[in-house]
Amino acid sequence: MARKTDDQEVAKENPIKTAAILRARRKMVDDGGTPSLRGTIVKIILLGLADAVALFVSLLLIAQHQWVYLTGVVVVTLILNWIYLRRGGLPAKYLAPGVLFLLCFSFSVVVYSGFIAFTNYGGQHNGSKQDAIDSVQLGAMVTDTNAPWMEVSILEDNNKKFYVLASDFMSEFEADGATAVPHYYLGGEDFKAATGWHEITGDELSKVTFSDSQITFKPDGTSYQAATGYEGFKTLTIDQVTELSAKFATLQVPVSDNIDADGWMALDAQAQGVQRTFYDSKYDAATDTFTRLSDGKLFPADNSIGFFIAEDGERLNDTGWQAFVGMKNFNTIFGNENLRAPLLKIFSWTVIFAVASVLSTFVLGLALALLFNDERIRGKKIYRAIMILPYAFPGFLSAYVWKGMFSFEYGFINYNILGFEPGKGIPWLAEEGAAKWAVLLCNLWLGFPYMFLITTGALQAIPAELTESAVIDGATPWQQLRLIKLPLLLVSLTPLLISSFAFNFNNFTIIYLITGGGPSGDPSLGVDVGGTDILISFVYKIAFSSSQGADYGLASAFSILIFFIVGGLSMIGFRRTRFLEEVAE
């Protein structure tokens, strides 16, 4: 206090000198003083490691052609180096790590979720358009079941190139003197370079004759012998073929030099035989259209929905690509008749569940806190420790225990507490009303210890003089609670109650573990809506359990709505808190 008085006197006598002193002090605080040698070395090492990581990430991004992310990494790295290498700016040095992590793990997630809400991103649209084209072409590979299946041996040349030696026993045999013999073919990787005896071009199958002295056959003594080797090549063993199965899965040996028309020979899954394979659909980049070769039907790309779709509405297949759809997801939420009625029911139950959970846990926690705050009770520490045990155990374990207790036939609640005979108890998890009471009871067990802890602390912070004065004035215990303790508690606990409401509004865990959102709702609605579903569990079903595959775009749109709902209700609650603070003052 004396120091403050001295400064005030100096300021009155010489205000210019005082302002200079204050600026010097502010500059000293901002500069942070002169760093030590050890601190400088540590700073350089940490910055070097950070720059090395940034360089490594930048190289990966360059390889993937991710120029937007690359720009972000470079800019952030330069800013961090400027902050920590310059003298002064001490507040920025402390704030930079927190701001960086906030941007990486919170802000970027929110922005990305907001972007996804305006796309069709989901199980059927989870890649780029080029990925979809590649996937469609891969799915368009068709095996010609009318073509002969040929037994093969896998060969390898001196250049580690692989080939197939095929034996055709299904076609009409050619007569070689008095004996009819199968057809034999040799083809594979770099075929022309490896075998100059056959005048062919490209990686094609070349027909060889039974009398070719370079062929070796399986010595099985049958009339029709399978070819097992060819001179100049190494025949792979079964173990070697198994080891290289991934390589052979992509091995395509063209039947001719016109692969689009004649197709290719592809190995089966066991690499024991080949059969003619071809693409039934062909992509034309100029018109952005697939043509189905079997019937000539055209499937142009529809970028508004991310599918290749014909004029009559037929889709080429269920593989699409991620596309910007604007407000389509929000129009679905508010305009889909199948969603409108269930959404009103789910929203009302979500609010009831959150409010009931907060009120029930707060009332029980406050009652226990008042009870164990009585000075006349001995061993209060032991009782308080017992009260917080449900809070100490993992929540998912407690939820599974409660789920077992709610069992219809032999559950602890029906059989032991309520005394029902097996098979005649309350169907806690099978009926909507009982299931809602079940999740509320379980949530009460999990939530009251938290309320007990915070109300105990708040009660102990209330000055004893207030209650003593009330007692002297003749106030009853109920009047003391209603007029003194509860208003003071609400001033300090309302923000915590609001955060508890926000938590229970999105309390996915308890719903998922106890009922899974069930019991099941009306199947005619076309959407999976359960009797105990809250908004977040319903969003989960949309995102991961849809019959059409995951729909992350629609789920993100729901998440944005939940954010605004919780944010709006929290804002109202905080305004109420400010009003209580003004009343208390």
Find the radius of gyration of the CA atoms of the chain.
38
Is the model's pLDDT at 159 over the cut of 50? yes
Question: Given a cut of 50, is residue 195 above it in pLDDT?
Answer: no
pLDDT of amino acid 26 = 62
Q: Which token pair is 188? A: 């594979």
CA distances from 289 to 138, 209, 316, 560 (A): 16, 43, 11, 36
Residue 122 tokens read as: 């989901």
User: In this prediction, what percent of the chain has a pLDDT beyond 90?
Assistant: 21
Tell me, what amino acid is at 191? F
**From 88-92, 352-356, 385-389, 577-581, the region with the lowest mean pLDDT:** 577-581
The closest of 337, 290, 346 to 525, measured between CA atoms, is: 337
State pLDDT tens for residues 531-572.
899 999 988 888 776 656 788 898 899 888 888 888 888 787
Q: Return the domain boundaries, the chain.
A: 32-116, 141-279, 333-584
pLDDT score of 579 = 56
Q: Which fold has domain 333-584?
A: MetI-like fold (1.10.3720)
What phi and psi values does residue 545 have, to the nearest 5 degrees?
A: -120, 15
Assigned token pair, 83: 């902050």
In the predicted model, what is the mean pLDDT of residues 472-480?
85
Q: Is residue 451 pLDDT above 90, yes or no?
A: yes
**Residue 267 CB-half CA count within 13 A:** 24
Cα distances (Å, whole numbers) of residue 224 to 95, 180, 219, 227: 81, 8, 10, 10
289 burial via Cβ count (<10 Å: 0-12, 13-18, 19+) = middle
Average pLDDT over residues 184-203: 57
pLDDT of the residue at 471: 83
Q: Average pLDDT in the 503-514 region?
A: 92
Q: Given this model, what pLDDT does residue 446 score?
A: 92
41-50, 168-177, 187-196, 472-481: which has the minimum mean pLDDT? Answer: 187-196
Confidence of residue 84 (pLDDT cuts 50, 70, 90): confident
pLDDT digits (tens, 9 = 90+) for 357-368: 999 999 999 999
Distance (Å, whole) CA 527 – CA 546: 8
Task: Please list, in sequence order, all residues whose beta carbon lies within 8 angstroms of the beta carbon of residue 348, skipping any fewer than 6 positions away.
Answer: none
Higher pLDDT, 506 or 528: 506
* In the predicted structure, residue 20 carries a pLDDT above the cut 70: no
E runs forming strands in 133-260: 141-143, 150-156, 162-168, 174-176, 179-181, 183-188, 206-208, 215-217, 227-230, 234-235, 252-254
pLDDT of residue 224: 64
Alpha-carbon span 470 to 477, nearest angstrom: 9
Instruction: Please list the helix, strand and coil fractions of the chain in percent, rounded to the nearest 5, in that order.
Output: 55, 15, 30
In the chain, the amino acid numbered 278 is: F
The mean per-residue pLDDT over the stretch 476-489 comes to 86
500 CB neighbour count, 10 Å cutoff: 21
The mean pLDDT value for 279-287 works out to 89
Is 186's pLDDT higher than 50? yes
The rounded mean pLDDT for the chain is: 82
Does pLDDT of 577 surpass 60?
yes
Are 409 and 423 spatial neighbours (Cβ–Cβ below 8 Å)? yes
Q: What is the mean pLDDT of residues 392-405?
A: 88
The answer, yes or no, to whether residue 198 has pLDDT greater than 50, is: no
* pLDDT tens column, 306-325: 999 999 989 888 889 999 99
pLDDT tens profile 21-76: 666 666 555 555 566 778 788 888 988 999 999 999 999 999 988 888 899 899 99
Which parts of 97-213 are beta strand (E)? 141-143, 150-156, 162-168, 174-176, 179-181, 183-188, 206-208
Residue 448 has pLDDT above 50, yes or no: yes
Low-confidence winner among 173-177, 290-294, 425-429, 464-468 (lowest mean pLDDT): 173-177
- Specify whether the CB–CB gap between 308 and 300 falls below 8 A: yes
pLDDT band of 13, cuts 50, 70, 90: low
Residue 199: predicted pLDDT: 38
Q: How far is the C-alpha of 330 from the C-alpha of 549, rounded, in Å?
A: 19
Q: 405 versus 201: which is more confidently predicted?
A: 405
Q: Which helix (H) or strand (E) holds 298?
A: strand 297-302
Statement: residue 490 has pLDDT above 90:
no
Residue 292: its H or E element: strand 289-292
On whether the CB atoms of residues 144 and 173 are closer than 8 A, the answer is no
- Please report the pLDDT score of residue 194 as a whole number: 43
